[in-house]
Structure 1
């Protein structure tokens, strides 16, 4: 049958019995990893190179998923060809396991105890041979007789963030018998000596040590390859980290990251160029041929020619460039093993006090100086004010950005309190005297503790959500009993993330007054206490909330006991917020996860959220080559096209909030454009359609009216329900087209996506959560008459 010899059912059963017997025999041979769960039908051997017999040990291969095997093959192909590469899988897909499997294969590990001390035994034999030669009169020292460390088996320098050293040590010990050491502390010189002698497979070093003078000793030791975890930390071309990582002498460099692109397209070039120096041209060539084309084509003002060029370049990057150097998979690979995640964006109005302080700061002398920096100088020099009579320091701008973000979250952040650093006390006293005159700091503190909702527009939403969820927990107890196992499994548990340690302290203290049992993780919590807090949250049904600083807890933590996540303040980098959500939404989660992200409407935070949308769409454009809805006019890095996103004037302003309107308008415009283009193509066979501006204006007017009708419905809901009513409906584990098909089939009818003749909107798109057109109100206080702040939900 086409030259294939098919096995009979009896032969298949016999083959499975042989593999099963081999698996059972592993326990007596000390195989690693030692997991109790094993596949019912063992997979075929994972052989990477038949000629050299390079294969992943069966004990590891049994535990791998198919996409992980593909990742291992990708790394091996790069290694065999002496090329570098970036494994850019989403968090939670097992990049660590893929790396360990790959290293096991190229180092010809078996997974048995015989791998233990293999190198040491080999070196001892060489020492004995050296001593024998000396006795025979050979003029050669024992050390000179030793070959290079990677002569028989490859060697690896594993560069990781200091916070992940312990995790990598645990994983290496779990998945195999590796001879490795950590280059740190007083043992650094001993680690180098042992490596030079050939006694080590792997040396672990933190990125912090590598870029210090102590890291110089590792640059030229004879590495077969370098693997850098969280390689996106090298994204800045001028950083010491990149310079240090580029000085390591080896043939192959492999980077691991779930966020290869965080802020701009140049970051991706930096990582790819580190892995394959000089093979992607210069940074200027990348900017000219790729970055600028993609950014110009994403603007809402882009011409049809610019969008066409964007689509062509994105397709070329995805299909021709990235496959050689970059492999990325997302959570769709494990969608069948994850529950649903819904995400709600809550636009929370500032309180009257916050607005007053915000405006007072905008009207300050220094702030006006910053805003006039780009204007022509009045002295007639022809220069801008900032470059002439009124120079503006970049540090001043950053300081004001930080202050406006604090005001957007809570006025508590600008009040001097016990625990502030000496410098912070001075700054906060000055801010309080200037922005809240006539009130002593002690009085402000007391007022904020007693009535936090007057000084923080997000407070009512936070406390309201927690009260609702806690009330549901109490209802579960009444229905099913205090000691019921089902009850503890149903109980809501909440993660609250904030960037500010000071705000974290305020939240924790306030929640204690509400009698909520709370755990805390921040940079000040030592590792032992941190693990105790994690264990308590995961296992104790009475622990309701865990409050975490985003910088500390957004990576490396498994908190699947939580089914609710609140992002109190957004990060400029959208991937930081995504990683925080993934503490709960990951493999091992059995319940649907609800995420609520709080945004202070009209403030700098709303611009931060808009930048998040922009950056996430950049990622999707270059990763998947899918056209993204063009929400914004602004073009990153182009001073002539700053639009509504970029530039100082967009940073420092107070608006009534317009993100939701822009999203609705852009979505409506693009949907009509696509539908009209499809109709024109069917009628006349043309490839596109040239819509007149007047027609677009009609579509915009229709979108505005549609949004206004939604707002009227929301106001009616407000009167009926009072404070907050949060809705959501985004299934992020699968793309929107698949979700549409699934839901339609559940209703027993075909969806438009099922019909071949139907031209649909792009199937993979990162948008503000809008596809289900659901909107609701954050809270009813402080709303202008006739207008409601909205929560947009997919």
Structure 2
């Protein structure tokens, strides 16, 4: 054995700090179907103590007889948890309810694993190929199997001299896979400088590496490099840019980290550097080809461009083309070819009433697109990779009834002249002209409330009139859907805007103005914390009441800082201990807030601004996530959920998205479903259920989703989403059951009929009579209602109370009730 091989064999595998992405489960193949990981009953020290009492002086931890293999090894890793907490968990499990803990919850500690594989290098280059490229043993021993596959994929891209996308779900360690790949091609393994220089001679002199990422995660990248390898890392950001640039020219930097904004401004300087590899974190920011950021990135010299993102496509299929055309130019053809060959067929094939020929063509193009993308993209989900190490997640969408006052204000907003001008834009003009109103007399709205303020310096209007007022009107509708206080003047705004907002509030409150304390901002603590006139806060109050006695920890997200202020007063009134993080929180204090929340049993709620807390936070101590207001972009809500549902989470995570029923928010959520389904079709090749008639960016098929008239429809007396998606009216549904309806292109799941086979059947079978279908739906709906009512009676509740119980109950509680109901039913049948 050579000296170098001996050193590799004897080299220790050091444990990582708490924030590092370390594992101890043995390698798991993606194709394996594993049961969810069960939480251990006690710490490793207790297991050893019990075995020692049985007479073994140096016992090894043994798995219980019912747990074998990989799960057994995953359960018996060292956990730094107090013994009294372990006793509490053990007692509760013996009672048959593992989901509940005592008030305050278990003390959250970093969830760590030891090394996951043998201490040996991971070869990336082909056998016999020189020079030998390998991930050092000190890194490889701490990677999971899916991360090793990711490193191999990145090296294949590098070797073939082109770029690609590592599109793993958020929280699967894309940063670490990128660092392990760089350590391999640079020959980094933490050795002395002499050995490092000898490896450099073998591998050849490499150029520097550029990392571009959001400002909020710059220091996270820097710290991960210091934990995993021995690169010379510098940050090109802030006042020291000139010094860093000089050092870069002197070849004194191996890895340069910068932000998107810095590169957009100074990209002309950095683009002249001959980069070995360019890695872009959150690469979906390059989705708009018309942005200055995209233009700056297009001038990069290297072809080895790697994008890291968990949301490859967010809003439109063309975003997919823009991203791939940057990482691997011309890989998907030119823009017009992609639009005609892929985008249009996929969009029109997803229409609810699309002809069979459209559906068939869309299926063919979808499969072709997925086969092309696989050459340049590696995409894995949590379920495929670390699902056996986590307890799962539920994504519930709760439709909250607005208060009667909210409904009245919402209708009054729809009647203001500004919105009426938009609704009636295509009607014939009243002056007798053959032109429509928007082309003739109603292009401007001088008698409106919003339009005069926006055009106070230009009374004749602008080139975009009246469509320039669409966004401000939508914001007002969203504010009313969340809380009436939001449409009142904000003291932080300029005086002119405060006067305009006061005028608007007075107009839409009308005779109800005294019920909300006037049109000025309410300073009353008791008034703001009262849930009487806010449908969502009433729902939140009931949810939190059921969680408070369970020891659940809650993440509460909102896009509005003013909404966070109101929720803060609500929590104070309820006596909840909480932390808060928003855009005003200094960057250097954010991690301490996160650590304090994770470690403190008394902190029950974390108030977070979705914009400030969407990236870089690890809040695995929380097992309840509430998204108070939805976003048009579905990835923003998914990123908020993943602050809790990520590696290290030891409890079942339940997400509640609160929507104001019958408001614009239902349309926002329906568009989220539309976008998520298109993303699943284009990227994963899934067969999705066709709910909607609308087609994005197509005036001919705006359907129920698109166009100004749909945005300003009065939905206050309807349940818009349930009419489209649900067979019956419900108080909540699971997002994954709506979006992830279909199968992948590989084949149907076991037991599920293939829709392709139905399409290929006889024409007579395909064209079923609509009346028959309606009768079947009605029968199924009636049967479900009757079954629901019976279970509610079995539990001693009426239907409304039982629905509320279902929302707050844990999966084990639901299964127990259903199991008891079935046992009683079978017993009655046997007696009969």
Which SS does the other structure have where 1:346 is aligned? strand
Matched, 1:692 2:768: yes
Change in CA separation of 1:286 and 1:685 when aligned onto 2, cut-off 3 Å = closer
Alignment gaps of 5+ in structure 1: 1-10, 12-16, 124-149, 473-490, 732-739, 748-794
Matching residue of 1:459: 537
1:570–1:609 contact (8 Å) kept in structure 2: yes
Matching residue of 2:699: 639
Matching residue of 2:689: 629
- Aligned positions of 1:87-102 closer than 5 A: 87-102=166-181
Matching residue of 1:22: 10
Matched, 1:216 2:276: no
1:116–1:179 contact (8 Å) kept in structure 2: no
Matching residue of 2:148: 69
Q: Which moved more, 1:417-426 or 1:363-372?
A: 417-426
Matched, 1:45 2:159: no
Change in CA separation of 1:199 and 1:629 when aligned onto 2, cut-off 3 Å = same
Matched, 1:607 2:607: no
- Aligned positions of 1:80-119 closer than 5 A: 80-114=159-193
Distance 2:594 2:787 in 1: 42
Which SS does the other structure have where 2:535 is aligned? coil
1:158–1:205 contact (8 Å) kept in structure 2: yes
- State the Cα deviation string for residues 632-683 of structure 1 (Å, max 9, x = none): 1111111111111111111112221131242234999x99xx999879979x
Find the partner of 1:658 among 720, 732, 748.
720
Find the partner of 1:530 among 568, 590, 593.
590
Which SS does the other structure have where 1:233 is aligned? helix
Which SS does the other structure have where 1:272 is aligned? helix
Change in CA separation of 1:712 and 1:368 when aligned onto 2, cut-off 3 Å = farther
Distance 2:519 2:526 in 1: 10
Distance 2:194 2:530 in 1: 61
- Aligned positions of 1:319-330 closer than 5 A: 319=371, 321-330=372-381
Distance 1:578 1:104 in 2: 31
Find the partner of 1:175 among 221, 224, 228.
228
> TM-score, normalized by length of structure 2?
0.74
Matching residue of 1:575: 635
- State the Cα deviation string for residues 720-741 of structure 1 (Å, max 9, x = none): 738932438999xxxxxxxx9x
Q: Offset of 1:624 from its aligned partner? A: 2.0
Distance 1:448 1:642 in 2: 45
Change in CA separation of 1:163 and 1:444 when aligned onto 2, cut-off 3 Å = closer
Matched, 1:194 2:253: no
Distance 1:720 1:91 in 2: 37
Matched, 1:435 2:508: yes
Q: Offset of 1:493 from its aligned partner? A: 0.7
Q: Offset of 1:709 from its aligned partner? A: 5.4
- State the Cα deviation string for residues 75-109 of structure 1 (Å, max 9, x = none): 21111111111111110111001111111111122
Which SS does the other structure have where 2:258 is aligned? strand
Which SS does the other structure have where 1:644 is aligned? coil
Which SS does the other structure have where 2:555 is aligned? strand
2:628–2:658 contact (8 Å) kept in structure 1: yes
Distance 2:594 2:257 in 1: 26
Alignment gaps of 5+ in structure 2: 23-111, 444-464, 729-736, 743-747, 823-832
Distance 2:382 2:171 in 1: 8
Distance 2:21 2:395 in 1: 36
Distance 2:787 2:330 in 1: 54
2:213–2:282 contact (8 Å) kept in structure 1: yes
Which SS does the other structure have where 2:625 is aligned? strand
Change in CA separation of 1:414 and 1:723 when aligned onto 2, cut-off 3 Å = farther
Matching residue of 1:595: 655
Find the partner of 1:272 among 324, 343, 346.
324
Matching residue of 2:466: 393
* C-alpha RMSD over aligned residues: 3.6
- Aligned positions of 1:534-553 closer than 5 A: 534-553=594-613
Which SS does the other structure have where 1:59 is aligned? helix
Distance 1:651 1:636 in 2: 14
Matching residue of 2:364: 312
1:227–1:256 contact (8 Å) kept in structure 2: yes
Distance 1:227 1:441 in 2: 51
> TM-score, normalized by length of structure 1?
0.77
- Aligned positions of 1:468-479 closer than 5 A: 468-472=546-550
Find the partner of 2:382 among 331, 346, 362.
331
2:393–2:652 contact (8 Å) kept in structure 1: yes
Find the partner of 1:78 among 137, 149, 157.
157
2:188–2:196 contact (8 Å) kept in structure 1: no
Distance 1:677 1:184 in 2: 55
1:563–1:594 contact (8 Å) kept in structure 2: yes
1:84–1:254 contact (8 Å) kept in structure 2: yes
Change in CA separation of 1:307 and 1:115 when aligned onto 2, cut-off 3 Å = farther
Alignment length, in residue pairs?
A: 666
Change in CA separation of 1:118 and 1:513 when aligned onto 2, cut-off 3 Å = farther
Q: Offset of 1:63 from its aligned partner? A: 1.1
Distance 1:161 1:231 in 2: 10
